[in-house]
Amino acid sequence: MTSSTVSRAPAIATKLEIARSVRVALETQIAEAALESAEDVRGADKRLADLRAKMTAADREVAELERAHTLALDLDRRATLSARAKMRQSQLQEFTGLARARDGAVSEIMGTLEKLANAYGRYISLTARAAGSLPIGTSLPTMAIGNNGTLGPAFGTLEGLIAAEAFRLVETSAPIRTALPFAKAPSLGLTDNPHAVPPGAAVFHEATEAVLNEIRTQVESLDATDAASLGVQEKAA
């Protein structure tokens, strides 16, 4: 039975047990009265007749209660099955809604991954073009991203940076802590503290500015060398 359904059989079962106990007691009393009647004890015949009448009524009550109990058990079972069916329908409705919502979440994930793939493709293309467009005489510095370069090279695949950013976005206050499959803490010390990871875009921008500063320094040095060389040549002329 469900918590909202009242079972009818237990109350009938209690009354049935009482009726059966009464009948058992009457059987003992009838045996005693029959013995006294057989021994011609005064008043025993009337007492025996009264007890037989009570036994007839007790037998009838037990039989009726047995049938009532059987019926109550059947009704309880039907009520339980009906309540269970209603509960299943309610649960099915809830499950269906959640399943449909999952579909929506997956569609959003796939759409976001499409945007991510497109943006990543642009990054790879721009990285190749940038590496091939260095000013004459300069070389691309070995520059890593993040504290102690833990997030990988600035002109690399960004695997470490993307994994760290995915880890940073873990919602620790949610009932179920979830992380993207490719999320990874940049260091063991940050495993339990995603929000301590600095934003990936800001970290990458810092690395970009460091690369640009290094290239500018190389250009300035080369320009100075060329200017000095030109001055020497002019004096020699």
Task: Count CB atoms within 10 A of the CB of residue 205.
Answer: 11
- The predicted pLDDT at position 176 comes to 84
Residue 6 is predicted with a pLDDT of 83
- 96: Cα separation from own chain's centroid: 16
Q: What is the pLDDT of residue 31?
A: 96
Q: What pLDDT, in 10s, does the model give residues 151-177? A: 999 999 999 999 999 999 998 887 888
CB 20 within 8 A of CB 62: yes
CB 90 within 8 A of CB 12: no
Instruction: Report the pLDDT value the prediction gives residue 230, as an integer from 0 to 100.
Output: 82
8 Å CB contact between 150 and 160: yes
pLDDT at 171: 84
- Helix (H, G, I), strand (E, B), or coil: what is residue 9? helix
At residue 173, the pLDDT reads 81
Task: Please identify every stretch of the chain with a pLDDT value under 50, giving residue numbers as ranges.
Answer: none
Do 163 and 183 touch, CB atoms closer than 8 A?
Answer: yes
Q: Domain segments of the chain: what residues?
A: 9-93, 134-236
Residue 4: predicted pLDDT: 57
Cα dihedral sign for 57, 60, 66, 71? Answer: negative
